[in-house]
Amino acid sequence: MATLSRKSTSATTFNNITDGDTLLEFKASLSNHWGAIASWNKTNEFCRWQGVSCSLKHKHRVIKLNLSSEGLSGTIAPSIGNLTFLRTLDLSWNNIHGEIPSTIGHLSLLRNLNLSNNSFHGEIHANLNNCTSLENINLDSNMLTGEIPAFLGGLSRLSSIHLQRNNFSGLIPPSLANLSALQQIYFAFNKLEGPIPKGLGRLSGLEFVQLAANQISGTIPTTFFNHSSLTHFSVALNELNGRLPSDLGNHIPNVQYLLLSMNHFTGTLPASLANATKIYALDVYLDNFTGRVPPEIGKLCPALLSFDTNQLTATTAQDWKFVTFLTNCTRLRVLKLQDNSLGAMLPISITNLSAQLQKLFVGENEIYGKISFGISNLAGLTQLQFSNNRFTGVLPDSIGMLNSLQIFDFDGNQLTGLLPSSIGNLTQLLHLRTDNNKFEGPLPTSLRNLQELTAATFTNNKFTGPLPIEIFNLSSLSFLLDLSNNYFFGPLPPEVGSLTKLAYLYISGNNFSGWIPDAISNCQSLVDLRLDTNSFNGSIPASISKMKGLMILTLFNNTLSGAIPRELGLMDGLEGLYLSHNNLSGHIPESIENMTSLHKLDLSFNHLDGKVPLHGVFSNVTGFLFDGNLGLCGGISELHLPPCLPNSMEHSKRELLAIFKVILPIAGVLLCISLVLIFISLKNKQKSQSTTLAEAHLIDDKYPRVSYAELVQGTNGFDTNSLIGRGRYGSVYKCSLHLKNAITTVAVKVFDLQQSGSSNSFISECEALNKIRHRNLISIITCCSSSDFNQNDFKALVFEFMPNGSLHSWLHQDVQASQQGHGLTLTERLNIAVDVADALDYLHNNCEAPIVHCDLKPSNILLNQELIAHVGDFGLARILSNSTSEQLIDSKSTMGIRGTIGYVAPEYGDGGQVSKCGDVYSFGIVILELFTGMLPTNDVFRDGLTLQKHAENALPGMLMKIVDPVLLTVEEAFESNLQGRRNAMEDISMVMLPVTKLALSCCKQAPIERMCIRDAAAEMHRIRDLHVKKRKTEGEFTIK
């Protein structure tokens, strides 16, 4: 369509047709024609169409097109460029897509362009440079890409630029400093990088600067901090660093929003901020500020004051003086001080803060003393967080006066006594956390009044008595009820079936007894049900199968008996079923093998017998656990169970048993006599036969035999391209073997028999591997003990191949891989820590004789396709006698110190005893390395500094500084907006404190002070499970 002439007044008809036809063509390009444009047609004069305004001076020329929020979709017709008199084009809040037409560049009179909140993509076209009259451009919330064009700096009339929530990348153009009329810059939520141009700070009229959620680096130009016009300044969630000027507050007197959170700012908070008296929100969350909070800052009167997750300190009452000053601020609504190093007692003046205060967070600090009775003065509180401090004494009854509370967290303290019944007055409460304190006595029956409660945790206290029925009448409970690890007793009331909306129910680790009530099947919303570690008896109720949404069911460590109900096989969504350590008997129901979702089934240590099914979870050697059921037979060959007898042989079997009862005692006496006669000769030959016996354990009919020639062929002659690792006593190769009528990829550990101690290592590994079977221990397939082609002795072990290599290779990969985010996520690291803990717990506590690994380190922790950890390399392992559970290290042994420098327990270097405590020490070091990414032998660890001391020095407020940078990169890669990124950092921060404390408890210098591995494994499970629950709910139960 031809471009219109603005000079000819005789072309009215032509102009009329042209602008009208342009609008109709614009309408035709849209895919829906409702709303304002529904009435656009030639029967009406187009200047009267809805959304259209025409010039009074130039008749029939459109000067304004406003179709905001009209539900439009489709694309913009290029002919839009023919509306050459257009001053305002507003198509915001629609669903228009495609690229922004380059013909908009023909609109030289355009002053206001608003295309925000649509789905435009592509780059900003260079033709827009011709819109020389443009004053305001708003392209927020689209999918635009490319760099912010430098030509914008030539549009001299621009006063506001809104480009936030797109995918712009590159630098902020320095040319924008030429825009003397510029007042507003909104570039947040893009992928901008590089420094903030210094020239922008010289724009004297600048009022709004919004650069949050990019990758901007460097320091803030000092020119920005000399602006009397500046009212909003936000650079949150970037990579900025440096210190704030000490006189900052003197030069920004009108600033209202100063948002500096989630950067790398250091130094102290400037006391001069007290002079910026108009501040409404001051947020420095997740930076590196240190020192005390200047008392003068308390003279401000903001609505939001957020200092959380820094390294701020308080050691005396004087250091809390800023809180006393804040008592004069009636506008204060949010005060966040959590996750710092604030100590001493919480000042009594905190109870005199504004009665309108809504959120008070002081958790994750080192505050001690009692919670003041006067806390009830803060009647406007909706969220109150005291978590993870050192508060003592009782929770005051006055807490019940805070009847607006919705979230109340005081977990992780040392509070004692009874939970006050006044807590039942908090009728608006949604979330309640009381866990990890020292509360005792029964739960108050007044909890029945909390009819809005959706989540409550009471775990790890000393609560006693039967559960009050009232708690099960809280129909609002829809997320979590955690009563685990207390001293509750008695039967589980049938009223539990009233929790029909609840997703997670944990009552493990108590003293509940009696039958599991059938009524529990009414909890149709349950996803995770944990009833383990109690004293439940009777049979498993078949009605549990009605809980169709259940994914996890734990019933282990009870005294349940009878058969496993076949109805459990009807639970299509069940992923984990844990029934170990009970008295269950009978056959395994075949229906379970049809459960396609089930990937973990633990039936170990029961009295089950009969045939093991072949399909489903039973075909997964890592997902099916069955130790301690001596009557089982059949199953897949990898389970190495004896074959099942035909039915016709069962009768004969029973007759033979009766005969054996007579014959066996006689044979036993004869056998004892024989053993005495040959004992002396065997004793002399014991050493020479040890290798043969060890091999015999492995080269049994239940393992496929493999020859030296097969290993040579499978590794291409032990070619270096097949080499995947080297160890103290040999090398490991990737190998292809023909096993079970199929080509299988395996790992072959070839022992260097010229190396001193290598033969002993082979024997130790054979003996250890013969006694163990666990999902988190490396699975041996067979061994080879023969001669090579030169008739030299050859010994090798063949293991299951781990495609994801060792944990060491993941933690210490090359720089390029790290920068690309190829690292382990937080959840994966927690899972690996749990896997390793479970493996050690099995070795120490569940084997016939305890086994000490003696060389636990990341290079001996291997990861399969699903990143499930497997502990390997038992060349230094020791099998302990049950009587002592420890052995003296032979200082003259060819093995030398048992372990690897950096990971080996200190007592081993002094010739101390091999014990479980040594493995626990190594586990603690591995955990620290897993979450910091630092080797214990790093060059920085000298002059008395160790990895443990490095972690101790970071407790509690500086832990984010020692987190593995790869972990931070990987976690941030999953988040696409400010809230998501904030949650990722919070998740890491919340995990680092308990993980670090656990690791340090494991690697204490004195063995007697270390945790036992069973407790460490339980704590590691708790940390992982809490993290997983938080991730699954995506912030439903959070204090942030």
Catalytic center residues: 855
Return all residues near 166 (Cβ < 8 A) that are at least 6 apart.
139, 140, 141, 142, 143, 144, 145, 189, 190
Return all residues near 773 (Cβ < 8 A) that are at least 6 apart.
627, 779
Contact call for residues 678 and 671 (beta carbons, < 8 A): no
Q: What is the CA radius of gyration of the chain?
A: 36
Distance in angstroms (rounded) separating the CA atoms of residues 711 and 718: 8
Contact call for residues 878 and 854 (beta carbons, < 8 A): yes
Checking DSSP bridges between strand 191-194 and strand 169-170, what pairing results, if any? parallel
Q: Which two tokens stand for residue 615?
A: 């399909």
Stretch (H or E) spanning 725: strand 723-726
Distance in angstroms (rounded) separating the CA atoms of residues 1021 and 1036: 21
DSSP string, 250-261: HH-TT--EEE--
Owner of token pair 């102009």 = 15
DSSP string, 822-840: -S--HHHHHHHHHHHHHHH
Indicate the residue type of 716.
Answer: N
DSSP string, 872-931: ---TT-EEPPTTTSEEE--TT-TT-SSS-TTTS-HHHHTT-EEEHHHHHHHHHHHHHHHH
Checking DSSP bridges between strand 480-482 and strand 504-506, what pairing results, if any? parallel
Calculate the alpha carbon distances from 282 to 300, 507, 782, 968 in Å. Answer: 10, 42, 65, 25
Return all residues near 270 (Cβ < 8 A) that are at least 6 apart.
244, 245, 246, 247, 248, 249, 294
Stretch (H or E) spanning 162: strand 160-162
Q: Which residues are annotated as a binding site for ATP?
A: 749
> Cα dihedral sign for 507, 513, 516, 517?
negative
Q: Which two tokens stand for residue 627?
A: 């130790």
**DSSP 8-state symbol, 277:** T
Distance in angstroms (rounded) separating the CA atoms of residues 378 and 375: 6
Q: Which two tokens stand for residue 141?
A: 């919330």
Calculate the alpha carbon distances from 75 to 29, 97, 99, 164 in Å. Answer: 6, 5, 8, 21
Residues in the chain: 1040
Contact call for residues 570 and 546 (beta carbons, < 8 A): no
Distance in angstroms (rounded) separating the CA atoms of residues 845 and 627: 13
Neighbouring CB atoms inside 10 A of 191's CB total 13
Indicate the residue type of 332.
Answer: L
Q: Which two tokens stand for residue 500?
A: 């029909």
Q: Which residues are annotated as a binding site?
A: 749
Number of alpha helices (DSSP H) and beta strands (DSSP E) in the chain: 15, 60
Contact call for residues 785 and 763 (beta carbons, < 8 A): no
Q: Is 175 exposed, middle or buried (0-12, 13-18, 19+ CB in 10 A)?
A: middle
> Cα dihedral sign for 136, 137, 140, 146?
negative
**DSSP 8-state symbol, 648:** H
Number of C-alpha atoms within 13 angstroms, CB side, residue 795?
22
Distance in angstroms (rounded) separating the CA atoms of residues 1017 and 998: 10
